[in-house]
Amino acid sequence: MEDFYRCFYHRHLPDLSEDCDSREENITLRLKKLLDVSLQVGEDYFGIKKTGNIIERCRRLEEAGWNYIYREEPDKFKHLSPVKKGLADWIAAEADLRMLHMRLVESFVVMKGTYIQEKPCFERFAETTLILFDAIARIKGNINPRRPRLGFRKSTITIGQPIDVSDRATVYRQNRQGAKQSVAQLTQDLETALKAMIF
């Protein structure tokens, strides 16, 4: 992706390997710079200033893209000449392509080089794998890819002991204060029973 932005969008992405103490720090810094450059490509096209955090920048780009694609005056659009309508379609198509840079950033916004190393567990490996899968599918033009199965799943159903509520119903009907206490106690008993069944 760095080479892609260097070659086709003429962006400067420096080699950060000498400035980093570790491989993980290098990945984190390179990813941060790549996401910034990717957003700049969209911001430059739409004429948007680079302000705010990554999420705010993504939302501004998305809004600008929608404004290019879905015009505010649909009645005027109906009366355009075929040439002007064709040009408007070009603008919409290009806006959609420029928004793909922002979508790529959305895929990686939660990633950092030390994420798996901090807690190497199945969930983090799986999450990272799915993020990479989604990003690659998006680059390939597959909008709704069928995600891979990352292992067999097993569920266990446990049936707990029944909770008798007939005595509580009497207290519940007596007065408003009794109803509140009865509901609170039942909620607490349900929580205790559910926690006891989780293993």
What pLDDT, in 10s, does the model give residues 11-46? Answer: 988 776 666 667 767 777 888 899 999 999 999 999
Please list, in sequence order, all residues whose beta carbon lies within 8 angstroms of the beta carbon of residue 143, skipping any fewer than 6 positions away: 137
Q: What is the dihedral of CA 105, 108, 111, 116, to 10 degrees?
A: -170
80: helix, coil or strand?
coil
Q: Measured between alpha carbons, how far is 92 from 180 in angstroms, rounded to an integer? A: 57
Q: What pLDDT does 42 receive? A: 93
Q: Measured between alpha carbons, how far is 19 from 12 in angstroms, rounded to an integer? A: 16
Q: Measured between alpha carbons, how far is 35 from 94 in angstroms, rounded to an integer? A: 20
What pLDDT, in 10s, does the model give residues 45-98? Answer: 999 999 999 889 999 999 999 988 887 666 677 777 889 888 888 999 999 999
